[in-house]
Amino acid sequence: MNIFGYYNYRKYLQDFYEYRKSAHKYFSYRAFAQKAGYTSSGLYLDLVKGRKNITDQLVSKFAKSLGLSEKEAIYFQLMVDYTHAGSPESKQEIFEKMSGMLPRSMKILTRNQREYYSKWYYVAVRESLGVLNITDNYQDLALFLAPRISLPQAKQAIQLLASLELIEKCDGFWRSRNNTISSGSEVDPLMVHQFQKEMVDLGKQAIGHFSRERRNISCTTMSVSPMGLERIIHKIDIFRREVIEIVRSDENERLVCQLNIQFFPLSKEKEG
């Protein structure tokens, strides 16, 4: 698991446990506690649920048991400090330290880059630069996307991405500066939500525009318990991160795709 994709240590611990449990069925909170050298088998879950805070004495023990490198252990400590920070000023200061430790292949968007999510095709254009050789041939870029965008939109998207320092010229062609982009905690959630709505709408259009061999869209309606609901959400998070790892190691890309995962209630929750 890539720790640099997280900024909240509770979420990282949650996903780490799910990942290890799915790979090794005998992995447990008790087994981790024994390896880390503390006695309470319930502490791990208390940390994930926010019922307790990890102490400074335990941070190094957790880092060792999580199998973190020296750099990753420092980042884990910063995640702890960020999660426990009491003021916006201290959070911002720690956030900047965390951003400075990110590998070049990953970038967390800051407040002045929130416009990246204001149009669906800004994201699609950035991904297209890993497939096309774009200099000033914006028409090729506009016609490549589905649905198509206009020539002015393609040119404006390149200008925006360059101004946000998300792309750069490499051997004469526009290329992305980072393999992975995360909205982090600094981008207005409403902006990200609007972007997600646009992508869901594009998913509806894809049903009529692409054959079943080129898409995978299915629906499953189910009744679940609150615990089952939580487990499914965790599994979806793990699956999404596994897909991201596939993309990071992929080569010879030829098209841009969008993955939308939708899982939501269709009813109120029964009391009791």
What would the pLDDT profile of 207-224 be if each residue is shown by its tens digit?
888 888 889 888 999 999
Q: 103-119 b/e with 16+ CB inside 10 Å = b?
A: eeebbbbeeebbebbeb
| Amino acid at site 115 | E
So what's the pLDDT on residue 158?
A: 96
Residue 110 has a pLDDT of 61
Confidence (pLDDT) at 189: 59
For 40-55, what is each residue's pLDDT tens digit?
889 999 999 999 999 9
In this predicted structure, the answer to whether residue 185 has a pLDDT above a threshold of 70 is no
Residue 170 pairs with which residues in a beta bridge? 173
Would you say the pTM of this structure is higher than 0.75?
A: no
Residue-level pLDDT at 180: 63
| Residue 188 predicted with pLDDT over 60 | no
